[in-house]
């Protein structure tokens, strides 16, 4: 009788290891590593889910093993590589192995779903298949199914006679929407058009729309632009069209493959591609850092390296910060590699996600593009991993397990013996320092492909009399340049650098701000709800008209919002068409892509937005970039504030002058002499790197020191603080004199969801005992005496707040 090692879904320190279970004879062939099973756990008859990690012939346990109750999956949901990865990841992030296993699963496997067996086409008439399905087209797998049946299923699956399909229960809300369609053909439509009265302009437009889009019908009402409902109704009455209901599967992100042919590489590009290809050809797990100015053509380097990996029979994995923010990159990859590409993103419905996952798993898709979690894509034989915009904080998960996709990528690259390419115009200091030490290979791309100089950047000192005198936030120089760019038929991007989403309320009489009763944060205004809402706990309340504190009517919105700037732009430049992109205009799925496309089609002159417009966009007609308030990110209490500011300004400046027209950037600031702003204005990463490294060295921060942030929380503030000191004492025991311990201090938002947060920061170079100590601390926090007390360990935090 063989034995399965199972990691059970009981996330505690005590259960954070595999447990042995007997595999009943009847399931002998069925159970394999990577599958989920149901087992009884503990003394009671508690059924839990678990992952089979390993199968052994004998047990080390002397007593009687409990048997596996039943199998949940009929085929492994995680590959052997992922099982191995989970142990490493758990250790690296101080998480439970079960959380790591769950994190790696495609979300459809976490959702409620049903499994069905269907015959593989060629075997529809197979005798065994027919008897299994009992003449039905498919068979649902139920927990009650006998083991004999499961064995038969397994047997047939191994012969590839049947396949297993997952169907998600309550399939991601199938939305019913109204759409228009017509039964008339082009000729008939033209006839109808000719019969219209000459003043029936709207009907004329509608018929033209139908003619142009005949092959796309039915089209949802919402997508018919510039034609009113009344016009559609009239047309329906006249028999021109029909209104039908369509069930629209949510296809949130429009991927429109951009066909580009292989370009002739510039010298810098060629050198980069050659080095990467050499590693691919020789199966070396080198790490390359491409430090390439904006517009240096990094995308083409990625594409041609992917091509090489594919040619060598390997697959390729490409990570981007966020799919919805980088549609152009996705379009270019899908344009080049077509059906070979699987795109993984959060906007997919569970069903779609499952489809993509299957395509990757069975090797149909050899190129995967996705955000952070795509690093777990079940690709086999990876030949290349690319991480674009490698400095982005979004590659680090904010919740347990707090993993960094870059580290996971490096781990996988070692397994697959393939190179990793990190690309950025503004590499993270960690990566750049590693390249300095020779751990990574540094590849410079210093020239823009179009040979154009980098955009001309002007820093505007907002303290100057002229600027402080203007009403509003837009300096005369920026006003003037916007006016002239638009007059020339060119486009502009205006960035409002915002710290959060803040549109909060403040009383101008007494300074009162409206705060959440549960959390220590300001409530922010949500236009769609017309309410003030807390971002942490969801509490909402009506917008006050008088100050709850002093009853003054002078309570109003504070903080320069994008809406406010939009309003100012409309006043200054009434002729300019402004598109706004911020949390407000993009909370609906797919709206990012829509706005980006509209701007690309020159349906607007100015794209106004927050941080989300700074990245990766490539609009040839944009010649002017304006930054309203460069300082916001500088003022945050985080040692990465300068780095983030430099990155943001460099990235957004890079949006100007990408094609044949020259670019111009105007940065408004109250700190014109700050090195982050000055270096960004020259796109001088190397100078910034030197200065910032010096300061990090002075203050003992990354990359000179490792950092671990541990936070504790409790409902009672005194308890939280007490535990903070307990934590510090614990750490002191394990650490040498060289380590630096900060805190406990309240986190910047010290109360969230009615819990108080205190944090301790450890900075260290070499502390061999720290790792085990942190595990012990985690273990201790599970004791009864620590009830109601939560702890989180963040290794190399992206934010300290
Ligand atoms: P970045 O390095 O900022 O990511 P991109 O990859 O977006 O730059 O390239 C900038 C522009 O240059 C794109 O429009 C791209 O099509 C073009 N480009 C890149 N490489 C070449 C080349 N070898 N020849 C001609 N155009 C190129
Ligand atoms: Zn007041
Ligand atoms: Zn709250």
Give the residue extent of every domain in the chain: 3-110, 175-247, 267-445, 456-502+559-692, 503-554, 706-795
513 alpha carbon to ligand 2 midpoint, in Å? 8
Q: Of 703, 700, 648, whose CA–CA distance to 679 is shortest?
A: 648
Annotated ligand binding at 507? The verdict is: yes
**424 in contact with ligand 1, CB cutoff 6 A:** no
Give strand pairing partners of 55.
4
Give strand pairing partners of 764.
706
Structure confidence at residue 171 as a pLDDT band (50, 70, 90) = very low
270 within 8 A of 447, measured Cβ to Cβ: no
Q: Which residue has the higher pLDDT, 649 or 125?
A: 649
Task: Check pLDDT > 90 for residue 387.
Answer: yes
Share above pLDDT 70 across residues of the chain, in percent, rounded to a whole number: 91
| CA of 269, closest atom in ligand 1 | 23
**Around Cβ 167, how many Cβ atoms within 10 Å?**
15
pTM: 0.78
**269 in contact with ligand 1, CB cutoff 6 A:** yes
Q: Which of 9-18, 82-91, 418-427 has the lowest mean pLDDT?
A: 9-18
Q: Which residue has the higher pLDDT, 196 or 253?
A: 196
237 alpha carbon to ligand 1 midpoint, in Å? 51
User: What pLDDT is stored for residue 706 in this prediction?
Assistant: 92
DSSP state of 716: S
User: What pLDDT is stored for residue 555 in this prediction?
Assistant: 79
Q: In what order do the strands lie in the sheet with 622-627?
A: 456-461, 664-669, 622-627, 491-495, 606-609, 578-581
DSSP string spanning 34-61? T-EEEEEETTTTEEEEEEEEEEESS-S-
**423 in contact with ligand 1, CB cutoff 6 A:** no
**294 in contact with ligand 1, CB cutoff 6 A:** yes
**258 in contact with ligand 1, CB cutoff 6 A:** no
255: phi then psi, degrees, rounded to nearest 5? -100, 115
Q: Are strands 219-220 and 175-181 parallel, antiparallel or unpaired?
A: antiparallel
Tokens (6 digits) for 208:
């033209």
Task: Check pLDDT > 80 for residue 445.
Answer: yes
Task: Check pLDDT > 70 for residue 635.
Answer: no
291 within 8 A of 400, measured Cβ to Cβ: no
Task: Check pLDDT > 90 for residue 424.
Answer: yes
Q: Are strands 162-168 and 113-119 parallel, antiparallel or unpaired?
A: antiparallel
369 alpha carbon to ligand 1 midpoint, in Å? 19
Annotated ligand binding at 418? The verdict is: no
| CA of 328, closest atom in ligand 1 | 7
Homologous superfamily (CATH) for 267-445: P-loop containing nucleotide triphosphate hydrolases (3.40.50.300)
Task: Check pLDDT > 90 for residue 748.
Answer: no
Give strand pairing partners of 666.
458, 626
Q: Are strands 242-248 and 175-181 parallel, antiparallel or unpaired?
A: antiparallel
**261 in contact with ligand 1, CB cutoff 6 A:** no
Length of the chain: 801
In degrees, rounded to 5, the angle at the alpha carbon of residue 654 between the alpha carbons of residues 650 and 659 is: 170
User: What pLDDT is stored for residue 501 in this prediction?
Assistant: 44
Measured from the alpha carbon of residue 535, the closest ligand is 3
Tell me the pLDDT of the chain averaged across its residues: 86
Rounded (10°) CA dihedral 749, 751, 752, 754: -170
Query: CATH number of the domain at 456-502+559-692, out of 3.40.50.410, 3.40.50.1820, 3.40.50.300, 3.55.50.30?
Result: 3.40.50.300
Structure confidence at residue 85 as a pLDDT band (50, 70, 90) = very high
Structure confidence at residue 252 as a pLDDT band (50, 70, 90) = very low
Annotated ligand binding at 100? The verdict is: no
Q: Which of 365-379, 548-562, 787-801 has the lowest mean pLDDT?
A: 548-562
Quickly tell me which residue has 């992917």 as its tokens: 306
Same fold, 3-110 and 267-445: no
Q: Of 7, 79, 13, whose CA–CA distance to 41 is shortest?
A: 7
Task: Check pLDDT > 60 for residue 474.
Answer: yes
Annotated ligand binding at 550? The verdict is: yes
User: What pLDDT is stored for residue 249 in this prediction?
Assistant: 44
Measured from the alpha carbon of residue 329, the closest ligand is 1
DSSP state of 25: G
In words, the CATH class of domain 706-795 is alpha beta
Give strand pairing partners of 669.
461
**650 in contact with ligand 1, CB cutoff 6 A:** no
User: What pLDDT is stored for residue 499 in this prediction?
Assistant: 57
Report, as an integer, the average pLDDT of 271-275.
98
| CA of 293, closest atom in ligand 1 | 2
Task: Check pLDDT > 50 for residue 637.
Answer: yes
Q: Tally the C-alpha atoms within 13 A of residue 542's C-alpha that lie toward its C-beta.
A: 5
Q: Exposed, middle or buried, 628 (CB in 10 Å: 0-12/13-18/19+)?
A: buried
Domain 3-110 matching CATH 3.40.1440.60: the answer reads yes
3-state secondary structure of 728: helix
Measured from the alpha carbon of residue 302, the closest ligand is 1
Nearest residue (by CA) to ligand 1, atom 17, is 297
Give strand pairing partners of 116.
140, 165
| Spatial separation of the C-alpha atoms in residues 114 and 135, rounded to whole Å | 20
User: What pLDDT is stored for residue 276 in this prediction?
Assistant: 98
Q: Which of 80-89, 106-115, 353-362, 533-542 has the lowest mean pLDDT?
A: 106-115
Q: Of 702, 685, 621, whose CA–CA distance to 296 is shortest?
A: 685
Burial 273-302 (b: 16+ CB within 10 A, else e): bebbbebbeeeebbbbbbbbbbbbbbbbbb
User: What pLDDT is stored for residue 561 in this prediction?
Assistant: 74
Share above pLDDT 90 across residues of the chain, in percent, rounded to a whole number: 42
Structure confidence at residue 478 as a pLDDT band (50, 70, 90) = very high
Annotated ligand binding at 547? The verdict is: yes
Report, as an integer, the average pLDDT of 654-679.
88
Task: Check pLDDT > 80 for residue 250.
Answer: no
Measured from the alpha carbon of residue 269, the closest ligand is 1
Tokens (6 digits) for 49:
């889910």
Quickly tell me which residue has 């399905």 as its tokens: 133
**139 in contact with ligand 1, CB cutoff 6 A:** no
Residue 380 CB contacts under 8 Å (≥ 6 apart), including other chains: 79, 315, 363
**299 in contact with ligand 1, CB cutoff 6 A:** yes
Beta strands in 628-686 (DSSP E): 664-669
Tell me the per-residue pLDDT of 193-209, one tens digit each, with 9 for 90 and over. 888 888 888 888 889 88
């Amino acid at each position: 009788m063989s034995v399965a090692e199972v990691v059970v879904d009981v996330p505690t320190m005590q259960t954070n290891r595999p447990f042995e279970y007997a595999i009943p004879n009847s399931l002998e062939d069925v159970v394999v590593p990577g599958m989920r099973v149901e087992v009884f756990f503990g003394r009671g008859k508690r059924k839990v889910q678990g992952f089979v990690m390993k199968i052994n012939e004998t047990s080390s346990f002397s007593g009687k093993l409990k048997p596996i109750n039943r199998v949940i999956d009929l085929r492994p949901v995680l590959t052997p590589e992922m099982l191995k990865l989970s142990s490493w990841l758990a250790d690296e992030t101080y998480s439970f192995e079960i959380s790591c296993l769950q994190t790696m699963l495609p979300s459809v496997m976490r959702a409620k779903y049903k499994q069905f067996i269907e015959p593989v086409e060629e075997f529809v008439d197979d005798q065994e298949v027919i008897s299994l399905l009992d003449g039905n087209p498919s068979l649902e797998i139920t927990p009650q199914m006998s083991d004999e049946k499961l064995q038969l299923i397994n047997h047939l699956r191994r012969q590839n006679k049947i396949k297993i399909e997952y169907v998600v229960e309550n399939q991601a809300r199938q939305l019913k929407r109204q759409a228009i369609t017509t039964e008339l053909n082009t000729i008939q439509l033209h006839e109808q058009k000719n019969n219209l009265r000459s003043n029936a302009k709207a009907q004329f437009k509608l018929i033209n729309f139908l003619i142009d889009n005949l092959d796309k019908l039915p089209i949802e009402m919402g997508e018919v632009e510039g034609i009113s409902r009344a016009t559609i109704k009239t047309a329906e009455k006249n028999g021109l069209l029909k209104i039908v209901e369509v069930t629209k599967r949510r296809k949130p992100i429009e991927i429109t493959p951009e066909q580009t042919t292989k370009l002739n590489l510039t010298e810098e590009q060629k050198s980069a591609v050659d080095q990467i290809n050499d590693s691919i050809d020789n199966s070396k797990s080198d790490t390359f850092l491409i430090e390439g100015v904006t517009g240096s053509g990094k995308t083409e380097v990625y594409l041609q390296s992917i091509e090489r990996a594919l040619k060598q029979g390997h697959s390729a994995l490409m990570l981007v910060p966020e799919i919805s923010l980088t549609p152009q990159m996705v379009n270019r990859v899908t344009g080049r590699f077509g059906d070979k590409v699987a795109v993984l993103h959060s906007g997919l419905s569970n069903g779609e996600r499952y489809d993509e996952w299957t395509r990757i798993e069975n090797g149909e898709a050899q190129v995967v593009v996705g955000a952070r979690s795509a690093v777990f894509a079940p690709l086999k034989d990876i030949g290349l991993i690319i991480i674009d915009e490698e400095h982005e904080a979004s590659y680090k998960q904010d919740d347990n397990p707090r993993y960094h996709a870059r580290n996971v990528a490096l781990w996988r690259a070692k397994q697959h013996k393939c190179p990793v390419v990190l690309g950025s115009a503004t590499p993270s200091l960690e990566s750049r320092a590693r390249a300095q030490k020779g751990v990574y290979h540094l590849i410079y791309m210093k020239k823009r492909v179009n040979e154009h100089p980098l955009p001309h950047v002007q820093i505007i000192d907002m303290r100057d009399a002229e600027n402080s005198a203007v009403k509003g936030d837009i300096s005369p120089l920026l006003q003037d340049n916007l006016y002239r760019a638009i007059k020339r038929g060119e486009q502009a991007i205006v960035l409002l650098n915002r710290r959060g989403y803040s549109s909060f309320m403040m009383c101008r009489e007494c300074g009162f701000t409206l705060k959440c009763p549960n959390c220590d944060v300001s409530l922010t205004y949500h236009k769609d709800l017309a309410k003030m809402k807390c971002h942490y706990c969801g509490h909402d309340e009506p917008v006050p008209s008088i100050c709850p504190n002093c009853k003054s009517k002078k309570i109003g919105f504070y903080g320069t919002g994008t809406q406010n700037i939009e309003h100012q732009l409309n006043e200054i430049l009434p002729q300019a068409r402004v598109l706004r992109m911020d949390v407000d205009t993009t909370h609906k799925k797919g709206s990012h892509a829509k706005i980006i496309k509209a701007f690309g089609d020159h349906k607007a002159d100015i794209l106004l937005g927050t941080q989300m417009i700074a990245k990766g966009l490539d609009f040839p007609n944009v010649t002017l970039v304006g930054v309203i308030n460069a300082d916001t990110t500088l003022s945050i209490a985080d040692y990465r504030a300068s780095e983030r500011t430099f990155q943001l300004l460099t990235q957004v400046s890079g949006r100007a002058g990408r094609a044949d027209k020259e670019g111009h950037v105007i940065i408004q600031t109250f700190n014109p002499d700050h090195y982050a702003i000055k270096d960004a204005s020259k796109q001088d990463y190397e100078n910034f790197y030197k200065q910032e490294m010096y300061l990090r060295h002075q203050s003992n921060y990354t990359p000179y020191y490792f950092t671990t942030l541990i936070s504790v929380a409790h409902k009672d503030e005194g308890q939280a603080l007490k535990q903070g000191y307990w934590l510090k004492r614990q750490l002191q025991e394990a650490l040498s004199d060289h380590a630096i311990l900060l805190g406990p201090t309240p986190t910047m938002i010290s109360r969230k969801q009615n819990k108080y947060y205190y944090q301790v920061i450890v900075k260290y170079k070499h502390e061999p005992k720290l790792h085990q100590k942190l595990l012990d601390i985690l273990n201790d926090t599970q004791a009864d005496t620590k009830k109601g007390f939560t702890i989180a360990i963040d290794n190399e935090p992206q934010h300290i707040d």
